[in-house]
A and B are shown apart, each in its own frame.
Chain A
Amino acid sequence: MDEANTERRRDTGLAFFGAVTAGISHDLNNVISTIDQVTGLLADLVAGAEAGRPVPLERLQTVQERLRRQTTRGAGIIKRLNTFAHSTDELRREISLDVLLADLLAIGQRYVDLRKARLEAPAAPAPLRIVGDPFRLQQAIFAALQRLLGSAESGDTITVALAGGKDGAAVTLTGPLGAAGSDQDAGRAQLEGLLAGLGGRLERSVAADRETLVLRIPGEPPPAGGGAEA
């Protein structure tokens, strides 16, 4: 790979890392802001009790339940952030593809919601492990999702499915077809480049105003005994 290509790859990787962490920081800020309001509500109730207005038990239970929901949500976000950040640690490692995909789609859900679209991703029928580059793999899947989301309107559905084979895996994304143009071409070229960097390829088809992107990812199964997970 020449120097310009290496530099471009580094730039798109950084842009992807930035986009994901910016989205996660927004999600975390929403959790903190909600906890801030709920603790404020608790302080209001305490002040009321001190002034002689007793607090009904169910009111306290509601506050407790809200705090529990938000801390659970925050813990999930931080766990995904941590996993995502560590996906840059090694260029080749054992990847639990079904777990990686579920985490990545949870991160991408925010962008789906902003489009008022729906994401359908049935759980993988069985754990699927390959050896590969987890960061670049996430970048490719995310780029495919963003491409389909770019054309999504309120109520549109994007489906994501994972399948394994003898010599790797396939992630299939289907969503609304975008209008032809230079942006679409550039996005496709970027996706093809990302998959080529992984030693894989993109298969694309169009039917009834919907585009299907099959991301073919090569990867030998992990050695017996397993190893680190993405």
Chain B
Amino acid sequence: MSEPKVLLVDDEEEFTRTLAERMQARGLEVDVSRDGADAVRRAQGAAYDAVILDLAMPGLDGIATLKLLLAQNPDMQVMLLTGHATLEKGVEAVKSGAIEFLEKPVDLDLLLGKIREARKTGQQLREKRIAESLDDILRSKGW
């Protein structure tokens, strides 16, 4: 099985570049966005196993970006990775559909574990939706 494909979204250029390099060295396919609007454009039609979002970004913040990503693709697995980890923000992120709310600095092995879990969950959701669609077709056609 190929390694996961990830979108990193953070305006901290050096942080993102270094994290991306370390992930790529481990075989992951990594794209990088500097802001939420660009992330939403990139995610359109792209098959990311996980999107990792900063909370405080220029323009669209992490929560607004999260909502737009999920409106575009409800099965998208989105994690917040932030230096603003308050309980309030964590609750808001999870209520808005984030699968994780992680605090910077983050351990890479922990993050990679979360990404692999996200990929598994995403695959299960896609398989479930395909099964539901097939079921609908079979029921509506009365075969």
Contact = CB atoms under 8 A, between A and B. Distances in A.
Given A44-B25, A115-B58, A36 B105 contact: yes
A33 B56 contact: no
Contacts of A154: 59
A29 B106 CA distance: 11
B25 A38 contact: no
A34 B83 CA distance: 11
A30 B15 contact: yes
B12 A41 contact: no
B15 A114 contact: no
B18 interface: yes
Contacts of B83: 25-26, 29-30, 33
Contacts of A55: none
A49 interface: no
B19 interface: yes
Q: What bracket does the count of chain A residues touching chain B fall in?
A: 20 to 34
Contact of B58 (A32, A34, A41, A113): A113
A69 B105 contact: no
B116 to A, nearest CB: 18
A116 B38 CA distance: 14
Contacts of A70: 14
Nearest to A26: B83
Contacts of B61: 114
Interface string A100-119: 00000000000001111000
A110 to B, nearest CB: 9
Interface string B2-36: 00000000011011001101100100000000010
A218 to B, nearest CB: 37
Contacts of B56: 26, 114
A199 interface: no
A80 interface: no
A26 B22 CA distance: 23
B84 A41 contact: no
A37 B106 CA distance: 9
B21 A114 contact: no
19 contacts: A25-B83, A26-B56, A26-B84, A29-B83, A33-B15, A33-B83, A33-B106, A34-B15, A36-B105, A37-B18, A37-B19, A37-B108, A38-B18, A44-B22, A114-B56, A114-B57, A114-B61, A116-B35, A116-B58
Interface of B: 11-12, 14-15, 18-19, 21-22, 25, 35, 56-59, 61, 83-84, 104-106, 108
Interface of A: 25-26, 29-30, 32-34, 36-38, 40-41, 44, 66, 69-70, 113-116, 154
